[in-house]
Amino acid sequence: MSGQFEPKIAGFFCKWCTSAGADLAGTTRLKYPPNVIPVTMFCSSRVDPQYILQAFRDGADGVIIGGCHPGDCHYQAGNYKTMKRIILVKRLMQQMSIDEGRLRLEWISAAEGGKFARIIHEFTEEIRNLGPLQLAQAVAPGHGAKG
């Protein structure tokens, strides 16, 4: 495995569904790549687009957001807000030449441990294929540069 690019992926997972699905994947001993750094949110709608961009800035090669299936949001309609926000963030990424495949929104219920493992697997491989994001800060050349 050495030498192979190991992507870093930030995951923002709703506590009620995807996080529980991740637990289920764990308790049923399903294997999935360790590349995702999960952060549990109360709802996918808690995910501020700033976190996504910041995660990319901070070195994530991919970002995955997991919420409850449409109609199932624990807080009724949070996931619809998430959906709209993510669509816009993807449009933004397109303009910034960041492959929109690096951002993924998935509906994974608490019962879907298998789906969780599969998606993480899939996404990790997709990001691996896309390669490192390398979103370095631009620096003004010359000496005395501050940034």
Partner 1 sequence: MADKLKVDSGSRLRFGFYWAASCGGCEIAVLDVNEKILDVVANADILFWPVAMDTKYEDVRAMPDGHMDVCFFNGSIRNSEAKEIAQLLRKKSKVLVAFGSCAHHGCIPGLANLHNRREVFDTAYHREPSLDDSAGTEPKTKTRVKEGDLSLPEFFDHVFPLDRVVDVDYYLPGCPPPVPLILNAVTAIFEGNLPAKGAVLAPVKALCDECARNKHVAKKMPDIRRTWEIQADPEECFLEQGIICMGPATRAGCETRCINGNSPCTGCLGPTPEVTDQGAKMISALGSILKVDAEKEMSEEETKALLDKVKDPVGTFYMYGLASAIINHRRGK
Partner 2 sequence: MGKLIIDGIETEAAPSKTVLEVARELGIKIPTLCSHPSLPPYGSCRICVVEAIWKGRSKLHTACTFPAWEGEIRTDSEPVRRLRRNILELMLAEAPEAEDIRALAREFGVEQTRFPVREEKENKKCIMCGLCVRVCQDVVGFAAIGFENRGYRREIAAPFREPSDACTACGACSFVCPTGAIDRRLFAKVEPKPIPSEFDQGTTSRPCIYTPFPQAVPNKPVIDTRNCVYFKNGNCQVCAKVCVPRAVDYEQQDEVLEEEVGAIVVATGFDLFDMKTYGSYGLHRHPDVMSGLDFERLLSASGPTKGEVRRPSDGKVPKRVIFVKCAGSRDAEQGMPYCSKVCCMYSAKHAILYKHRVPDGEALVFYIDVRTAGKDFEEFYKRATDEGVNYVRGKVSKVFRRGDKMVVWGSDTISGRKLEVEADLVVLATAMVPDRSALELARMLKIQHNAHGFFTEAHPKLRPVETATAGFYLAGAAQGPKDIPETVAQASAAASKVLELFSRKELTHDPNVAAVDEDLCSGCGICVDVCPYKARELIERKDGKGWVIKVTEVLCEGCGACSAACPVGACQQANLKDKQIEQMARAGLQD
Judged by the rule CB under 6 A, the positions of this chain that interact with ligand FES are 14, 16-17, 43-45, 67-68, 73-75, 78-79
**CB of 30: closest distance to partner 1 in angstroms?**
27
Residues numbered 116 to 145 that lie near partner 2 (CB under 8 A) are none
102 lies in the site for partner 2, by CB under 8 A: no
Residue environment code for 61-85, b if the CB has 16+ CB neighbours within 10 A, otherwise e? bbbbbbbbeeeebbeeebbebbbeb
- The single residue among 96, 125, 129, 131 that binds partner 1, judged by CB under 8 A, is 96
The option from partner 1, ligand FES, partner 2, none interacting with 67 (CB < 5 to 8 A, set by class) reads: ligand FES
Q: Which stretch binds partner 1 (CB under 8 A): 11-19, 31-39, 78-86, 115-123?
A: 78-86
Q: Which stretch binds partner 1 (CB under 8 A): 25-33, 90-98, 112-120, 122-130?
A: 90-98
